[in-house]
Chains A and B, each alone.
Chain A
Amino acid sequence: MNAAAQSSRPKLLIAYLLIWLAVTAVTALVVLAEMFLGSWTGWITAPLCFVAILAVGRKVLADTGEMPAAKQHLARLAGSYFVVNLVGAFSLAVTEGINPYNALNLVAVIVFINGWLLVALLALARWALTRRHPVLSVARQTLDEARGLRVVNGFFLLFLLLIPMLVFLLSPDQPIRYRIQQFMTYGLGISQFLLAAFVILFGAWTLTSEFTGRQAQVSLVKPIGRGAFWLGKWLGMVILSGVLLGIAALTVYLFTVFYLARQPALDELDALLVKQEVLTARVASPPQPPDNLTNRVDKRMEEMLSTDTGRSLVIERGGQAAVRNEMLQRELAQWRSIGPYRQSERWHQDYYFTDLRRAARQSEFLSLRYKIKVKGDWGVTTKLFLVINDKPYKQIETPLDIVQRQPIPSRLVDDEGRLKITVVNLDPKISVIFPADHLELLYTVDRFGPNYLRGMVIVWIKLSFVAVLVLSLSTYLGFAVASLASGLVWAVATFSPYLLEAAGRFSAKPEDAETVRWATSVVRWVATSVAWLGQQYAAYQPIDRLAEGLYIGWDQLLGCAGWIGLAWSLPLALKAWVVFRRRELAHVQV
């Protein structure tokens, strides 16, 4: 170690100590002011103290002279976390109406852990990449690049600031379970969105800047293959997104489990449902269609094929399988619909749920999850009556077109693990229908923690794919085009279910001109094809499932790893390697 580095170390330690003391002193000052003078003082003292800390920190750091850049960044980050601390605490104090001292402590703990976790995880990642392998060296350099860019540090700060700020959205009047669901959906959803945007923008930057800044001309004349160089960039992006996702996930988890879940519930049911429906991992069991339903379809099919008219109709509708499926779907829809009260034969319907013995053993309540639709404009609610195992259970008034949950005591499950639920439509004028996949019985099979972890791993795999996508495009496109194209693909893939639905409804009117109808068909075909390609990506939505307390199984995790992590990513990576190998990296002016 040379003399310059040795001489800066003691100064650096003193600098850290002074900054740490200043942070502690200011925290204490703000808390004391709020306790004795009122919470409004926090809004004045915090900014003043922050400015003071900045001034002191700047002076102290300046006095250390030449200092390793990595440690300068750490010192800056440490200061940033303190700001996050204060903002989060005050927002919590204001919106939750709780003791500012407690709020400060709570957010301080969360943000303190998160802030230093970011520093520690980045340091750990750099340490893990110290081996002399060229791929690891490039990955390490990518982390250093992120750390060294001001815009990325700004993103880190925004990222850490945003999650505590979400407490503004929570209303103390809401049931706890809704607040938890809202916080998880927004916290994880926004984190996922921000991280995808970060991966796209920084991923495009880190590779394209190698070409525009010509650093690749120096790096790639060293003993590292182009494939290894690309892989190192990708690995760096994956590690970086993993670190940030881990911090966001931890923030939401800590805030949910150790704060929100411990707040006073509106009533006993609210408290129970938090455990039974949100902070849990449940599977959904749909009702079993009646045995004679498929028999009826087969019989009608035979009847149709026995006549010439029927046969030609089958051919016209796309063949036997298509027609049979259409009939089956109609029968199932009929089975899920219930006619007006005493106005039709089907004003009540039986639904059988089976294989519930394990569910009955593991949890006190099962949850009936359903959504009701009606034809036409019939108001916003309707009334149903539930009969369970032929015994009257409960009358419910349920909103239309919104997913609802009804707790069912598990003791009602019979010894064979069966539960019969008869739904009676109490409205004498309208028919109601449960849309496909919107009538199911939910029960717990795992704890919230492991389920949450699996969900976050799925998000990470999806982010890793986004990194493959953007780095692949960046091998031959510029920053702007590569990031825009990646963003477009990501958006289409993420929102493909909505796109498919929209494309299905997009059609020309009969009175439209032939050209318009033709153009409409082309647009619809293109949109449907593109959305169809992306739907596999959208099929893995762990955040919605976590907020609903739904189980995320290993099969889903492995499926996501197989489809998104391998089947989608490998061809893109291969394409990137082929293109990158053939690319000329120098532009010589002659």
Chain B
Amino acid sequence: MTDAATIPAIGTIGLTKVFKDFWLRPRVVAVDQLDLTVHPQQVFGLLGPNGSGKSTTIKILLGLLFPTRGRVQVMGRLPSDVALKKRIGYLPEESYLYRFLNARETLDYYGRLFGLTRASRTQRIDMLLEMVGLEAVQYRPVGEYSKGMQRRIGLAQALINDPDLLILDEPTTGLDPIGTRQIKDLILELKARGKTVLLSSHLLADVEDVCDRVAILYGGRKRAEGTVDELLTVEGSSLIETDALEPETIAKIERLIEAEEGKSVRRVESQRQKLEQLFLDIVHQAQKEGAATSGALAGGAMAEFLTRDAHLPEQVDGRALIEQLTRPAESPDVVAAPIEPAEPTGPDESVLNQLTEGDAAPASAASPGPNESAPSSEEKREPVDRGVIDDLLGGENKS
């Protein structure tokens, strides 16, 4: 029996894509026997070097490419299902927008395709333009925008329908650190609202900061899958973090560890600030001082319709209002799949059975264990070693 709550947001079994040449001879195997399950409310990262099959996988999920072999379902439907698209937002790896339309016209066009009412479109466009910091240049043709500004308007179009599933392909490409931070905040905010996010990237920090689960692709095949902690935790090593210590105290601790455990301290150093944080602090300071800029602004608060309760009167429940605003216009003919907290992400038999229609699912060597669970965004992560990921991507330990 298949319960609606167990329907994965994304499910692929044995997904294979072979690109052929002019004479229909197999040229490149872009995706090879890929088994993937993304549950609702998860932020799932597709990690891999260039040409590993991330974008191909995403384009198959969106119906832009057709699989050579294997099965694909998105929210329980085939990718070619037009009604399904009402619940999906997609940011491609580059912003493929109409150069002759301005930002407002661009968002209006995509809003129309979703069947949003005029009032709804106007409200959302205003909010999104403010959110991505393009309000001041909204009447300038998109063709005149810088790459980063185009990414911002691209992100806005992906959110115009308040999607249940957001697919982001290299979302931080071309963005400054502020934009990058905003994207990460947005992803976490959407996750908190129960949305599902599929994030494709080859930037390790992007994935590490926001993803519940990660699959690492190489050569079209899945090489590893699990939570970030599971993949990055280094066995046989402990880390203690305190405020700055006096040398004498450190010496005492060293002696204590040697006496109790018979082990020595390998390294003691002062904590360093992340470069990203340093950069953000400097820019925020400049903005406080009113320094002028001709580019995109830092961007405003999260669009109201994308948040839970922010900016709303106290007596109004944010989610209820959003649903009231969006439900009639957006998806009259689509029954939204019930959103449940992320299920354990192991090889759920009922999910696989649904995809395979009774066939036994092939066991993946890289499948996660049964005790895995998606951590919440509030969960504090231990500092981890990136060496494992780096090893998988190129064998070069950069830690």
Contacts and interface: CB of A to CB of B under 8 A. Distances in A.
Contacts of A575: none
Contacts of A140: 109, 112
A242 B210 CA distance: 53
Interface string A552-590: 000000000000000000000000000000001110111
A387 B159 CA distance: 84
A586 B82 contact: no
Interface stretch (B98-106, B229-237, B286-294, B387-395): B98-106
Contact of A149 (B88, B100, B113): B100
Interface in B46-105: 51, 53, 55-56, 59, 62-66, 82-83, 85-86, 88, 90, 92, 94, 96-102, 104-105
A329 interface: no
A584 B64 CA distance: 6
Given A66-B137, A144-B100, A214-B96, A219 B113 contact: yes
Given A218-B90, A584-B64, A213 B56 contact: no
B115 A134 contact: yes
Contacts of B161: 222
A67 B100 contact: no
A211 B154 CA distance: 17
B88 A221 contact: yes
A134 B113 contact: yes
Nearest to A130: B118
Contacts of B109: 137, 140-141, 144
B53 A145 contact: no
B102 A68 contact: yes
Interface residues of B, number: 52
A67 B53 CA distance: 43
A584 B135 CA distance: 35
A69 B100 contact: yes
Nearest to A2: B126
A28 interface: no
Interface size class of A (residues with CB under 8 A): 35 or more
Nearest to A8: B139
Interface in A200-227: 213-215, 217-225
A223 B115 contact: yes
A394 interface: no
B30 A586 contact: no
B201 interface: no
Contacts of A147: 100
Nearest to A219: B113
A4 B105 contact: no
B138 interface: yes
B114 interface: yes
Interface of B: 19, 28, 30, 51, 53, 55-56, 59, 62-66, 82-83, 85-86, 88, 90, 92, 94, 96-102, 104-105, 109-110, 112-118, 126, 129, 135-141, 154, 157, 161, 220
24 contacts: A4-B138, A5-B138, A66-B136, A69-B102, A69-B139, A138-B113, A141-B101, A144-B98, A148-B100, A148-B141, A215-B96, A215-B97, A218-B110, A219-B110, A223-B83, A223-B85, A224-B113, A225-B82, A584-B64, A586-B59, A588-B55, A588-B56, A590-B51, A590-B220
